[in-house]
Chains A and B, each alone.
Chain A
Amino acid sequence: MILNYSQPLEVTNLTSWLDAALRSSLPEFWVLLIEFVLVGVAFLAAYAVIALILIYAERKITAFFQARFGPNRVGKWGLLQSVADMVKILLKEIVKINRSDRFLFFAAPFFMIVASMATFGAIAFGKGLHAIDFNIGVLYVTAVSSLGIIGVLLAGWSSNNKYSMIGAMRSGAQFVSYELSAGFALMTIVVLAGTMQFSTMIEGQRYCWNLFNGHISSLIAFIIYLISGHAETNRGPFDLPEAESELTAGYHTEYSGLQFGFYYLAEYLNMFIIASIATAVFLGGYMPIQVKGWVAFNGIMEYIPSYIWFFGKTAVLIFLSLWVRWSFPRLRIDQLLNLEWKYLLPINLVNIVLMVILVLSGLTLTDLLPGWF
């Protein structure tokens, strides 16, 4: 039973009010245009703000992992540090490289940003707070996010620098390999949920997250998705495309100023995107924790706005990502490719079949204990 309490803190109230206000005074076309522009502006703001918060959080948490203070000079507790960094990066000269391929060198950051922005658009931040909600959502996300690798390869190739070239090649091999695993892990959950649309998938996890619903199989898929997510974003122990000790800065060695800043931005946003897709697919997205039959408890939980649930769950996964990053030593390229092709991919193929058997023979938690979940 779902009680219909009014939820005054939801953003949906604001957006529907705005929509009604615009509609009452303007013709259809202008309403649409204004709303499109508003969506764009909101995404620009969210993109920048989330990146700034993540950069600050990463530096601070990293500092605590390493028993340091981290940024603590600019603003209270160094809160304005990443803002200052952004201003600094805007004021840096964009150096032109003599023997580079000018056009591709210029075009590469566009691919990075557009790919991560298009994926960012498919995230459900809260109830009714998603721009793109296709019925092929999962496929769309895997397809669009893989455009980013074109930016990395172009950057490495066009720089005409050996470090960039090696970094781009490593990054290409790594991304391409781990994207398979990420796709298969998501596919395992698509089998369980029976839909590729994010909103339907999230609503379906009201009482039982997909992570628990498919117990063994889901858990394996979750772990594989987290591993391949770290690898796709070139972070964690998988950061060998930009291994400082051997490749200076990898594929963006020759980039300076804001062009480098775009790569930096996209890297942090990709971390957020991976965490939020994992949240939506495995951990119930913006759904509050609900228990069947506990009416009062459910009401209280529903009163907490959905975007707080979403950002909370995502923050936990991001913390996990940072924890992994600073706990494991960097892999070699052969170890990295072995891990994917000899372990994760075969496990994944078996795992999909296992999940199909679980679903078909009614062994998922919702089928086993319909009264509870």
Chain B
Amino acid sequence: MQPILKQTNIFIYMSSLSLFLTVFLTGISLVVAGLGIAILLAPKSFNLQKGEPYECGIPTHGTSWMQFKAGYYLYAILYLMFDVETIFLFPWATIVRDLGYTGLYSILFFIVILGLGLAYAWKKNVLKWN
């Protein structure tokens, strides 16, 4: 790509995967090292009340692991639809110039159908919060 840039680059021969692994392990080691230091330095004291879930002065009533508002679920479904579309559109986006208008017409069907999906959800009041 840019020969001048690449020659001076320290990372010239590191393969992509090992680089990702480096960053990944850096993240994990940050958390592990931080927690290690904190456990060494931090005071420890035991109190039964301290382990209670936080509430505004009263004991918590029941568990919090329960069924939740369905509105969030509908948005999650909609998200899935559009997020998969993103994966299909990104490869197309890089070669728009080469494909020309043919590519645009082809992808327009795809986008219009997804737009119709959104319009359907809108019509069905999925996007209305209540």
Q: Which residues, 1 to 46 on B, are CB-close (under 8 Å) to A? A: 1-2, 5, 8-11, 13-14, 16, 18-20, 22-31, 34-35, 37-39, 41-45
Q: Which residues, 110 to 141 on A, are CB-close (under 8 Å) to B? A: 110, 113-118, 120-121, 127-128, 131-134, 136, 138-139
Measured between alpha carbons, how far is A59 from B103 in the docked complex, in Å?
49
Closest chain A residue to B62 by CB distance?
A162
- Whether A356 contacts B104 by the Cβ 8 Å rule is yes
A-B contact count (CB 8 A): 238
- Whether B63 contacts A342 by the Cβ 8 Å rule is no
Chain B contacts for A345, CB-based, 8 A:
82, 118
- Whether B60 contacts A44 by the Cβ 8 Å rule is no
**What is the predominant secondary structure among interface residues of chain B facing chain A?**
helix
Chain B nearest CB, measured from A258 CB (Å)? 4
Instruction: Check A316 for interface membership: any CB of B closer than 8 A.
Output: no
Chain A contacts for B13, CB-based, 8 A:
32
Q: How many residues of chain B are within 8 Å of chain A by beta carbon?
A: 74
- Whether A172 contacts B83 by the Cβ 8 Å rule is no
- Whether A338 contacts B89 by the Cβ 8 Å rule is no
- Whether A95 contacts B35 by the Cβ 8 Å rule is no
- Whether A121 contacts B19 by the Cβ 8 Å rule is yes
Measured between alpha carbons, how far is A138 from B122 in the docked complex, in Å?
30
- Whether B14 contacts A32 by the Cβ 8 Å rule is yes
Measured between alpha carbons, how far is A197 from B76 in the docked complex, in Å?
29
Can you list, as one digit per residue, whether each of B90-121 has a CB less than 8 Å from chain A (1) or not (0)? 10011111001100100010010011001000
Instruction: Check A318 for interface membership: any CB of B closer than 8 A.
Output: no
A interface, size bucket: 35 or more
Can you list, as one digit per residue, whether each of B65-101 has a CB less than 8 Å from chain A (1) or not (0)? 1001100100110110011001101100111110011
- Whether B23 contacts A131 by the Cβ 8 Å rule is yes
- Whether B53 contacts A114 by the Cβ 8 Å rule is no
**What is the predominant secondary structure among interface residues of chain A facing chain B?**
helix
Chain B contacts for A337, CB-based, 8 A:
75, 127, 129
Instruction: Check A329 for interface membership: any CB of B closer than 8 A.
Output: no
Measured between alpha carbons, how far is A92 from B41 in the docked complex, in Å?
8
Measured between alpha carbons, how far is A136 from B87 in the docked complex, in Å?
11
Residue positions of B touching A, CB distance < 8 A: 1-2, 5, 8-11, 13-14, 16, 18-20, 22-31, 34-35, 37-39, 41-45, 50-56, 60, 63-65, 68-69, 72, 75-76, 78-79, 82-83, 86-87, 89-90, 93-97, 100-101, 104, 108, 111, 114-115, 118, 122, 127-129
